[in-house]
Homo-oligomer: A and B are copies of this chain.
């Protein structure tokens, strides 16, 4: 018997995370299933940012670098984030973007394995990651080698210095077994750089527990840090003494205000910084993390999987016969916090959905992606979204012409 809307409401009523939705400002007429692309706005962020602009910048002026703690914000926010990643406070720092941080970590890791010529990466990873892999290989005179995620472990050999892959694939949502892969990497003497773009804030990460070496993550997806929120870097404590990153800006210098000629790297994870942080975006991200206060990441992961299971069940019931396909794994344990459906008219269907207030995103050529911010998405939202998709497909209420006129849905 198919699951009903009443069943979904009952699931919401007994959801241990049900109180978290009130921590966000959400339009009741919108079903927001795109928190994997841009998380919703947590309450309190706007007021905090105004305070930073008017009080700290406008009145405190330059003094706020010390007095408002701007200067130490990358480490302070990193320490606040660390428990959500299964990391120690001194292993995480918040700065710049994923691509830039990946660049830093890949060069750093490759320099720790100078005699090994291969950087092994995931074919089918988010392309920007692989473009950075190519660039690092070119600069360092290494070889970039790409294999599908499932073949990474067996592709590691004595030439492999560094392995990088996404923990959760941006498209298929497939989750890698962090402990297992990391073990395989270490068994061959290589180092691993994880991309946590679709993991941080969505799944129960155990960076220390799985012995990960390095990781980068995203602030604006499941961590709800705001558009373009700064990224985060994880460095395992055991590597903190051996870092040697290439973007040698003053914020990673041991004593930036001595203005010495030579670069001396800061102790610890602070060396991974390069530049003056963009404070307004940093402030929004810092405040946004309050939405996770008292939240169990195990519960977040459990709910995300349950929401995904629900969407797949409803897809099988209502959408499969309308030409939709499933581009994510059925096994919830191997799936991250989004579900990708395919349809040849996917772009136009997504446009029609958005017009009805059901917001997901589209990834070329045919993927409709629905992400489940577990702090604010309800079971009933997933139900209603599937009903809307079915209705659009059945009624032909999407413009076929739009197929030819695809434009970016970020």
Contacts and interface: CB of A to CB of B under 8 A. Distances in A.
A3 to B, nearest CB: 27
A135 B63 contact: no
Contacts of A25: 54, 58
Interface stretch (A13-21, A75-83, A357-365, A388-396): A357-365
Interface residues of A, number: 87
Nearest to A246: B135
Contacts of A107: 139
Contact of A226 (B131, B146, B227, B280): B280
Interface string A263-287: 1000000000011111111101000
Contacts of A32: 61
A6 interface: no
24 contacts: A25-B58, A27-B59, A41-B57, A45-B53, A46-B53, A57-B227, A62-B359, A64-B227, A70-B228, A99-B275, A100-B249, A135-B263, A138-B246, A139-B140, A226-B279, A227-B280, A228-B275, A228-B277, A228-B279, A257-B363, A257-B410, A259-B363, A280-B281, A280-B284
Contact of A66 (B247, B250, B279, B407): B407
Interface string A370-410: 00000000000000000000000000000000000001111
Given A54-B41, A228-B282, A249-B97, A131 B259 contact: no
A9 interface: no
Interface centre among A59, A248, A354 (most CB of B within 10 A): A248
A385 to B, nearest CB: 15
A258 interface: yes
Interface in A121-141: 123, 126-128, 130-132, 134-135, 138-140
A226 B38 contact: no
A207 interface: no
A138 to B, nearest CB: 8
A70 B410 CA distance: 10
Nearest to A249: B99
A89 B358 CA distance: 37
Contacts of A407: 66
Contact of A408 (B71, B226, B262, B277): B71
Interface string A32-60: 10100110110001100110011011110
